[in-house]
Amino acid sequence: MMPVIYPGQTIGIIGNDQRAYMLALKAKEMGYRAAAIVTPQMQNTSFARLIDSQIDGEFNDYQTLVQLGEVSQVLTYTNELLDETVLEQLAQHYYLPQGSSVLSVTQDRYLEKVFLSDLNINIPPYATVVDVDDIQDAIDSIGYPCILKPIQKGYGKQYQRFIQQPSDLENIEAALELGTYILESWIPDAQELSVMVVKTEDGKCVTLPVIENEFEDHRLKMSLVPARINQDVATEINRLAHLIGEKLDYTGVFGVEFFLTPAMNIYVKRIMPTPHATGDVLTHTLNFSQYEYHLKAICQLAVGPSRLNNAGMTLGIQEAQRSLIQTQMKIKPDWYFNLHNVTTNQQIGSVTATGQAIQPLIDNYEAADLY
């Protein structure tokens, strides 16, 4: 049994994204101290100013992580692309409740699909490919449309190729520079859903309300809760999330993304081994945010069921929308604005509206020219 981490003690955060910022913010609200690794790019950001103990260095440098471990009673990460072997070494000497083994599953698309298949969970049809002949053989089996992705995650959308017809195979060999790839069926007209799961140190899993998501150009555009699905679908998604959680060696909040087809077939899209941006819509709609749930789980505090207080819709804000958002800040007293400068990408924050039903929230965003 691991020790309880009480307010006043220090939580070491490994990450440089919005999730790391939100985790540090919630930790301090709960009375904890926050320590973090601050890379050169993160200097003078709102995240660097928020934390109590700053360790200068890089996330995958073991000695830097050791320095963070020395000033923390518990460590947690929000970056799902960290070096698993470095974290495994770290966990031998410092308290890292999430562990590292989950990353061996979630960073490799093939291993992730094998993990899910072994649980008899539906996933989109796929094949591993290394050359053009493999691609053609796979298409003969899974058909068009399909998408070609590197087997390792984290390379970015520029290394993926959408294949709709035979002409899209012209010069396809140029897209195979990273070795082994996954060719996966594209699920047309699918509703994208996700669920965040809280897993405690004793193996108990608590699922949070199912979220509906919309992506644009590989970027999360919108999340809303409750998802517009029937109870049978919600029940099955929760069952699958529990099944996955039971098999993962992990403590804290993780997420699972799903495709729901018009024929009501459910496919698991991927596992997210940390709190995730899709769960941010829960911050102002649930009794506890995903960040508070995560902190409670890794600190060995009591974790109870979730309660949805109202409907909510969260939009990501891009730099090009800054003036629109500034206008809405002056006229929307009941919207929640969350702006940051954690990283240098084009997303500068999010806005959340809540209410008794989803459609009025959509109508209000459309009227403001935000959606």
Q: What residue ranges do the domains of the chain occupy?
A: 10-96, 125-185, 191-367
Query: What integer best gives the mean pLDDT of the chain?
Result: 95
Query: Contact 273/252 with Cβ under 8 angstroms?
Result: no
* CA-closest candidate to residue 30, choices 244, 296, 219, 246: 296
| Mean pLDDT calculated for residue range 162-180 | 89
pLDDT for the residue numbered 346: 67
- Give Cβ neighbours of residue 91 (< 8 Å, ≥ 6 apart): 99, 100
Query: Contact 27/69 with Cβ under 8 angstroms?
Result: no
| Mean pLDDT calculated for residue range 293-315 | 97
Burial of 309 (0-12, 13-18, 19+ CB in 10 A): exposed
| Mean pLDDT calculated for residue range 195-224 | 96
Residue 308 is classified by DSSP as B
The fold of 10-96 is Rossmann fold (3.40.50)
- Give Cβ neighbours of residue 174 (< 8 Å, ≥ 6 apart): none
29 backbone dihedrals φ, ψ, rounded to 5°: -60, -35
How far apart CA 343 and CA 15 sit, in angstroms, is 11
* pLDDT tens by residue, 53-87: 999 999 999 999 999 999 999 999 999 999 999 99
On whether the 191-367 domain is CATH 3.30.470.20, my answer is yes
How far apart CA 195 and CA 193 sit, in angstroms, is 7
pLDDT at residue 342 tops 60: no
* pLDDT tens by residue, 246-285: 999 999 999 999 999 999 999 999 999 999 999 999 999 9
pLDDT for the residue numbered 341: 63
92 backbone dihedrals φ, ψ, rounded to 5°: -75, -15
Q: 296 to each of 288, 290, 304, how far by Cα in Å?
A: 10, 10, 10
Question: Domain 125-185 carries which CATH code?
Answer: 3.30.1490.20
pLDDT at residue 355 tops 50: yes
Q: What does the chain come to in residues?
A: 371
Burial of 146 (0-12, 13-18, 19+ CB in 10 A): buried
pLDDT at residue 184 tops 60: yes
pLDDT at residue 130 tops 80: yes
